[in-house]
Amino acid sequence: MNQQDMTDRVAIVTGGSDGIGRATSEMLASRGAHVVILARGMEKLEATRDAIKAAGGSAEIHSVDLTDAEAYGALVETIASDHGRLDMLVNNAMSVHYGPLDHLKMEHWRKDFAVNADAVFAGTRSAIIAMRKCGGGSIVNVSSTTAIRAAPFMSSYSASKAAMIQFSAVAAMETARDNIRVNCVVPGQVQTAANEDYASKAPELAEKTVAAIPMGRGGLPTELAQSIVFLLSDASAYITGVALPVDGGKSAQLYLPS
Ligand SMILES: NC(=O)c1ccc[n+]([C@@H]2O[C@H](COP(=O)([O-])OP(=O)(O)OC[C@H]3O[C@@H](n4cnc5c(N)ncnc54)[C@H](OP(=O)(O)O)[C@@H]3O)[C@@H](O)[C@H]2O)c1
């Protein structure tokens, strides 16, 4: 049996209309899964769904703002009930605020936690209930190197992404006997449109950031998608509770001045 084949399986991908999420949605559909893509903006959602369908895949879209974690949790329940099953969930959408601690406001902290932690709890909780009913499933939560290595000026994002890692490990322990697996991927720098835009505005800084990655380049969205799809697939059947760095070696690096 092909362990990458996902025919007849149903997957939900949050933030699946751009960057890593879009690459993941397209890869899941190419393996035969029906992909339910969630994000706020309809234009990018429609473009992603149309591209998947044009390539022969199966997808549907829903507009939802993950700052409302309860609404998201309820939507996961509805999707699972409409399809009679839920096999895979990717919590990939994010919120990020930058700034030194004395400038960061409580509303920024709360928004990053709402999307990166509260919504991950609500979605995972609903998914686990649905997955238990259909004999198992796999959940992948998308964290960040900033959750495990300290980067200044990203306190709310980093702390919420760290909460996601420990929450995922606990969820993995609670569901291990139900044939449900819960894992994280931990991306470093990835060549998404937002990062490319930032790089064009601060080219010197962007160059230095990339040069400090052991592999000397940022990751491709498809390289992240490959690791996410691996953790969703039967090829990783004995892996649960891990936080897998996908970062060109960045988190393993010991910095020594030359
Ligand atoms: N790119 C990197 O270098 C990098 C590094 C480390 C970790 N990561 C992590 O990887 C994941 C994907 O990042 P990315 O760079 O691929 O993101 P991206 O290209 O900016 O895409 C973000 C996606 O999330 C959706 N989204 C954002 N806020 C949302 C909200 N409140 N409710 C619902 N959907 C929302 C966006 O669509 P709408 O705006 O239309 O809602 C979009 O589909 C994130 O969890 C991020 O923290 C990325």
Contact 108, 102 (CB under 8 A): no
Residue nearest to atom 13 of ligand 1 (CA): 20
Pairwise CA distance, residues 197 & 191, whole Å = 10
Longest dimension (CA), the chain: 59
Domain assignment present for residue 176? The answer is: yes
Ligand 1 atom at shortest distance from the alpha carbon of 67: 31
Surface-to-core class of residue 200, CB atoms within 10 Å of its CB (0-12 exposed, 13-18 middle, 19+ buried): exposed
Domain count, the chain: 1
Domain assignment present for residue 257? The answer is: no
Domain assignment present for residue 87? The answer is: yes
Residue nearest to atom 14 of ligand 1 (CA): 19
Give per-residue pLDDT as tens, 220-235: 999 999 999 999 999 9
Which amino acid is located at 154 in the chain? M
Its sign, for the CA torsion 183, 245, 203, 23, is negative
Mean pLDDT, all residues of the chain: 97
Quick one: CA torsion of 90, 91, 96, 100, rounded to 10 degrees? -110
Ligand 1 atom at shortest distance from the alpha carbon of 218: 3
The rounded percent of the chain whose pLDDT value lies above 90 is 93
Is 72 among the residues known to form the active site? no
What number is the average pLDDT over the span 194-223?
Answer: 92
Which residues span the domain enclosing 55? 10-190+222-245
Residue nearest to atom 42 of ligand 1 (CA): 15
Domain assignment present for residue 238? The answer is: yes
DSSP 25: H
Query: For residue 155, how many other CB atoms are within 10 A of its CB?
Result: 20
Contact 20, 192 (CB under 8 A): yes
15 Cα to the center of ligand 1, angstroms:
5
Q: Is the CB of 41 under 6 A from ligand 1?
A: yes
Pairwise CA distance, residues 69 & 121, whole Å = 8
* pLDDT band at residue 197 using 50, 70 and 90 as cut-offs: confident
* pLDDT band at residue 62 using 50, 70 and 90 as cut-offs: very high
Q: Is it the case that residue 256 has pLDDT exceeding 90?
A: no
What number is the average pLDDT over the span 145-158?
Answer: 97
19 Cα to the center of ligand 1, angstroms:
7
Residue nearest to atom 19 of ligand 1 (CA): 19
Testing ligand 1's pocket by substitution, the residue of 12, 20, 160 carrying the most ligand atoms inside 8 A of its CB is 20
Pairwise CA distance, residues 167 & 31, whole Å = 29
Give buried/exposed letters for 68-96 (b at 16+ CB in 10 A, else e): bbeebbebbbebbeebebbbbbbbbbbbb
Residue nearest to atom 17 of ligand 1 (CA): 19
Residue with tokens 């029906």: 34
Give per-residue pLDDT as tens, 116-132: 999 999 999 999 999 99
**Worst-scoring range by mean pLDDT, 97-101, 176-180, 200-204?**
200-204
| Residue-level pLDDT at 165 | 99
Q: Is the CB of 215 under 6 A from ligand 1?
A: no
The rounded percent of the chain whose pLDDT value lies above 70 is 100
Q: Taking the model in full, what pTM does it have?
A: 0.98
Domain assignment present for residue 154? The answer is: yes
Catalytic residue among 72, 98, 157, 255: 157
Q: Kindly tell me the number of DSSP H helices and DSSP E strands found in the chain.
A: 9, 7
What number is the average pLDDT over the span 247-256?
Answer: 93
Residue with tokens 């990339």: 210
Its sign, for the CA torsion 182, 123, 4, 193, is negative
| Residue-level pLDDT at 42 | 98
Q: Is the CB of 144 under 6 A from ligand 1?
A: yes
In 72-208 the beta strands, taken as DSSP E runs, fall at 88-91, 137-142, 180-187
Domain assignment present for residue 48? The answer is: yes
Three-class SS state of 168 = helix
What number is the average pLDDT over the span 163-168?
Answer: 98
Domain assignment present for residue 201? The answer is: no
Domain assignment present for residue 84? The answer is: yes
* pLDDT band at residue 2 using 50, 70 and 90 as cut-offs: confident
What number is the average pLDDT over the span 10-18?
Answer: 98
What number is the average pLDDT over the span 85-96?
Answer: 98
**Residues 208, 210, 212: CA angle, nearest 5 degrees:** 70
24 Cα to the center of ligand 1, angstroms:
12
192 Cα to the center of ligand 1, angstroms:
9
- CATH code at position 58: 3.40.50.720
Pairwise CA distance, residues 224 & 239, whole Å = 17
